[in-house]
Chains A and B, each alone.
Chain A
Amino acid sequence: MGLFDKLVGWLGLKKEVNVLCLGLDNSGKTTIINKLKPSNAQVQDIVPTIGFNIEKFKTSSLSFTVFDMSGQGRYRNLWEHYYKEGQAIIFVIDSADKLRMVVAKEELDTLLNHPDIKHRRIPILFFANKMDVRDALSSVKVSQLLCLDYIKDKPWHICATDALKGEGLQEGVDWLQGTTTDVHDSESVEHRD
């Protein structure tokens, strides 16, 4: 945090970060984004997203613009068109859907091997969602099944969440805020050189 950033903070001008929210259908992406919005802006009914939605919310130091992408199979090919703009990724996993864990892994691998993502140090936040469901997998198990250990060149973090109650979300957003600031600083350092 340089002096300039502090100054920006005092003035109330927050830095904007574009975040992509990805994951399979019915994993809880829209519900998570909804919970992150201020309570007066939240909606009650969540319906399956068609295409994508753009949502904005602010934390203490950053202003997030979230692209809440649809997870349905036929819309998943839209994701890659937004990879360039994304400065961070939220990947949501339905921890109770053991059967489709391989599909989530497949989509994640495709994402990580995409030319727009592969060589960037883009932070990825994993939400192992639906922890309230009775036989949901733990976040450790989820990260094992998705082979997250193999991601060496990007900062990542996994949180166990329950989007209906909002549990665990704040921890993830705090991590994202910290990491995004760091990455931005290092990137701007690179630019100066």
Chain B
Amino acid sequence: MTSMESGGDGGKWLDAHYDPVAGLYTFSSCVDLADLSGDGENRLVVGDLGTGSSGMKLKVYRGTALMSENTLLDLPAGLVAFFMDLHEPRIPTTAVASGPCIYLYKNLRPYFKFTLPSLEVNTLEQDVWQQAREGQIDPLTLKEMLESIRKKADVPLSVRSLRFLSLETDGLDEFVQLHKQQPIRRQTVITCIDTLKKSTADEDGVSCLVVGTESSDVFILDSKAFIILSKMSLPAPPTMMDVTGQFDVEFRITVACRNGNIYILRRESDKPKYCVELPSHPVGLVRVGKNVLVGCTDESLQGFTQKGKKLWKIVLPAPITTMAPMDLPTRGFQGVLVGLANCEVHLYRDKNLLSTIKTPDVVTSICFGRYGREDGTLIMTTKGGGLMVKILKRTVVFDDRDSAPGPPLAQSIRLNVPKKTKLYVDQTLRERESGVAMHRAFQMDLSRVRLAAAKAYVKALESSLTPMSASLSEPLKMNAVVQGLGPSFKLTLHVQNTAACRPVMNLAISFLYDENLYRIRDPYMRIPLLVPGLIYPVGTFVDCTNDKGITDIIKVFVLHEGRSSPLLTAHINMPVSEGLALS
């Protein structure tokens, strides 16, 4: 239990508890800490997703032990603990959002269920089902008509119709018989939930619930009477939310939406006030102080002001799995914890990496706060269902310096850049005035250069001036090596037949050179049969007859008997002869 090594985090955390088989499958949105019994000891409340189709539970932990379990009817989308009234003793209520409903638990017992208002139903759809009920149309016609409504209607179809459309032909009749009597209803689904203090900023003040739905709305619910206090619309369904402020005074709701944008809603406006368009989809949204930190799918963490202005961006070593704020008011510390897919949890203050926690498994949910009687407790659950509790050491001091390898200090020293000269200013002006013409001239020259290069290349290929043979019947490759200091050089030509299996015969080598400068011992050589793949060295000696230090090019031709043009050509730049001719 306590023997686990805390590697990599510089001994900042104490390993209080690790149960790898706790069977907790959850995300950060479904974890909260609250004093559920009013005895000053915070409990861990978890909405467990079970297998995703069964075994959904509301679990409460006290210390290292599971204290209570309540079965949930549907998958939890979010869980918050909040004060809904001022009754003594002050015991918070747990709200679990699943499907279109919010289930409230008080003293760990079901207490109240709130369902969001149903949405407007397509009248055409209603008519079609009406006809089906009266037996005027058969299920196949019904399916066709619903299909056509689905394609063009403004109001989307109900879940029942969509389900019907996805059925195989033999199941249609049964489905219609089973459902035709019930009226059509269209329900939205809650995607995220958070709390908003009603009128006071106190820790134990009464809160409202803020709910984001699949129908791209955000509702603020009064927790006493459960009426909708405010409704705001977004351009896309919200996925994550952060709420700050008080409902009666001023509040700000930062919402990450499924279209990859972040919208900022404020009091007295039912439309978003600011919008941040992200380069990739957000996976985590955390507010630290007045800034909003967003983790994206492109393995980056970005900071924005509360007006949506981008402050910074850092690249992370692995994809983000989850994010959570780390707020320690007693020490005035605020940061963000980022769970990564490489089994690490990073702690950032602004863009500075302060601590890296290595975990035995990928972390799927993080919650930091007061647990039991300890203020700085970090609770994490893992992909394999493990529960991990770490406690921040009392004596820990987080350095302001970034521990991540980053740009060196010297980079921020200002360079002594000389003043702008008149020439520079004139040039800049000229560039500004006739930028288009300059660009065209450049493009023209660039095209010419490309054309010239292409022409030269084609010519080289056509006249076999290259050391690679382009002909299909004799694919050859040659390179030449000159050895020696002079005046006598050894010239070795390596000839290779690059064909897959066909040998090449009847080849010869000849040279073209300035006879005043060089003398070649064998100016004409026959090459033996070339077996594919092997490299044949063919050597001869070149004597430099000039002692003035003049060099020239020797051209080597590989010829085929009976053909006038060479198969390939190599140009050899001869080195300067450093010795003196003997004769």
Nearest B-chain residue to A135, judged by Cβ: B65
Compute how far the CA of A171 lies from the CA of B75 in the bound complex, rounded to whole angstroms: 55
Q: A100-B391, A103-B16 are in contact. Are A74 and B330 (CB under 8 A)?
A: yes
In the assembled complex, the CB of B493 is this many whole angstroms from the nearest CB of chain A, namely 77
Give the number of chain B interface residues (Cβ < 8 Å).
20
Q: A135-B65, A145-B2 are in contact. Are A99 and B394 (CB under 8 A)?
A: no
Chain B, residues 304-343, CB within 8 Å of chain A (1/0): the string is 0000000000000000000000000010000000000000
Q: A26-B373, A73-B375, A145-B2 are in contact. Are A98 and B14 (CB under 8 A)?
A: no
Interface contact A106-B14, CB-CB below 8 Å: yes
Which listed residue (A74, A110, A135) contacts B395, Cβ 8 A?
A: A110
State whether the Cβ of A102 lies closer than 8 Å to any Cβ in chain B.
Answer: yes
Chain A, residues 81-98, CB within 8 Å of chain B (1/0): the string is 000000000000000011
State whether the Cβ of B64 lies closer than 8 Å to any Cβ in chain A.
Answer: yes
Interface contact A100-B65, CB-CB below 8 Å: no
Compute how far the CA of A77 lies from the CA of B397 in the bound complex, rounded to whole angstroms: 14
State whether the Cβ of B372 lies closer than 8 Å to any Cβ in chain A.
Answer: yes
State whether the Cβ of A162 lies closer than 8 Å to any Cβ in chain B.
Answer: no
State whether the Cβ of A101 lies closer than 8 Å to any Cβ in chain B.
Answer: yes
Interface contact B371-A99, CB-CB below 8 Å: yes
Interface contact A102-B391, CB-CB below 8 Å: yes
Chain A, residues 21-34, CB within 8 Å of chain B (1/0): the string is 00011100000000
Compute how far the CA of A25 lies from the CA of B394 in the bound complex, rounded to whole angstroms: 13
Compute how far the CA of A101 lies from the CA of B330 in the bound complex, rounded to whole angstroms: 22
State whether the Cβ of A121 lies closer than 8 Å to any Cβ in chain B.
Answer: no
Q: Give chain B's interface secondary structure class.
A: strand
Interface contact A100-B16, CB-CB below 8 Å: yes
Compute how far the CA of A102 lies from the CA of B373 in the bound complex, rounded to whole angstroms: 13
Interface contact A102-B15, CB-CB below 8 Å: yes
State whether the Cβ of A157 lies closer than 8 Å to any Cβ in chain B.
Answer: no
Interface contact B64-A103, CB-CB below 8 Å: no
Q: For residues 372 through 428 of chain B, which have their beta carbon under 8 Å from a beta carbon of chain A?
A: 372-375, 389, 391, 393-395
In the assembled complex, the CB of A130 is this many whole angstroms from the nearest CB of chain B, namely 12
State whether the Cβ of B566 lies closer than 8 Å to any Cβ in chain A.
Answer: no
Compute how far the CA of A107 lies from the CA of B330 in the bound complex, rounded to whole angstroms: 19
In the assembled complex, the CB of B13 is this many whole angstroms from the nearest CB of chain A, namely 10
State whether the Cβ of A58 lies closer than 8 Å to any Cβ in chain B.
Answer: no
- Chain B residue numbers with a CB within 8 Å of A77 are 394
- Chain A residue numbers with a CB within 8 Å of B372 are 97, 99-100
Interface contact B2-A100, CB-CB below 8 Å: no
Compute how far the CA of A106 lies from the CA of B6 in the bound complex, rounded to whole angstroms: 14
Q: Give chain A's interface secondary structure class.
A: helix
State whether the Cβ of B106 lies closer than 8 Å to any Cβ in chain A.
Answer: no
- Chain B residue numbers with a CB within 8 Å of A106 are 14, 393-394
Compute how far the CA of A146 lies from the CA of B15 in the bound complex, rounded to whole angstroms: 13
Nearest A-chain residue to B61, judged by Cβ: A99
State whether the Cβ of A76 lies closer than 8 Å to any Cβ in chain B.
Answer: yes
State whether the Cβ of B17 lies closer than 8 Å to any Cβ in chain A.
Answer: yes
Q: For residues 343 through 373 of chain B, which have their beta carbon under 8 Å from a beta carbon of chain A?
A: 371-373
Interface contact A102-B16, CB-CB below 8 Å: yes
State whether the Cβ of B503 lies closer than 8 Å to any Cβ in chain A.
Answer: no
- Chain A residue numbers with a CB within 8 Å of B375 are 73
Most chain B CB neighbours (cut-off 10 Å) among A25, A74, A76, A103: A103
Q: For residues 10 through 59 of chain A, which have their beta carbon under 8 Å from a beta carbon of chain B?
A: 24-26
In the assembled complex, the CB of A104 is this many whole angstroms from the nearest CB of chain B, namely 10
Interface contact A98-B391, CB-CB below 8 Å: no
Interface contact B16-A99, CB-CB below 8 Å: yes
Q: For residues 74 through 89 of chain B, which have their beta carbon under 8 Å from a beta carbon of chain A?
A: none
Nearest A-chain residue to B375, judged by Cβ: A73
State whether the Cβ of B50 lies closer than 8 Å to any Cβ in chain A.
Answer: no
Compute how far the CA of A106 lies from the CA of B12 in the bound complex, rounded to whole angstroms: 11
Interface contact A102-B394, CB-CB below 8 Å: no
Compute how far the CA of A105 lies from the CA of B375 in the bound complex, rounded to whole angstroms: 17
Compute how far the CA of A150 lies from the CA of B64 in the bound complex, rounded to whole angstroms: 26
In the assembled complex, the CB of A47 is this many whole angstroms from the nearest CB of chain B, namely 12
In the assembled complex, the CB of A149 is this many whole angstroms from the nearest CB of chain B, namely 15
Nearest B-chain residue to A76, judged by Cβ: B394
Compute how far the CA of A118 lies from the CA of B196 in the bound complex, rounded to whole angstroms: 51
Which listed residue (B14, B65, B330) contacts A103, Cβ 8 A?
A: B14
Q: A73-B375, A74-B330, A103-B14 are in contact. Are A98 and B64 (CB under 8 A)?
A: yes
In the assembled complex, the CB of A30 is this many whole angstroms from the nearest CB of chain B, namely 15
Which residues of A approach B to under 8 Å, CB–CB?
Answer: 24-26, 73-74, 76-77, 97-103, 105-107, 110, 135, 145
Rank and list the top 3 A-B pairs by shortest CB-CB distance, nearest first: A102-B14, A99-B63, A98-B64
Which residues of B approach A to under 8 Å, CB–CB?
Answer: 1-2, 14-17, 63-65, 330, 371-375, 389, 391, 393-395
* Known A26-B373, A97-B372, A110-B395; 20 more pairs at CB < 8 Å: A24-B373, A73-B330, A73-B394, A77-B394, A97-B373, A98-B17, A98-B63, A98-B64, A99-B63, A99-B372, A99-B391, A100-B16, A100-B374, A100-B391, A101-B16, A102-B2, A102-B15, A102-B16, A102-B391, A105-B2
* 8 CB-based A-B contacts, threshold 8 Å: A73-B330, A73-B374, A77-B394, A99-B64, A101-B2, A102-B14, A135-B65, A145-B2
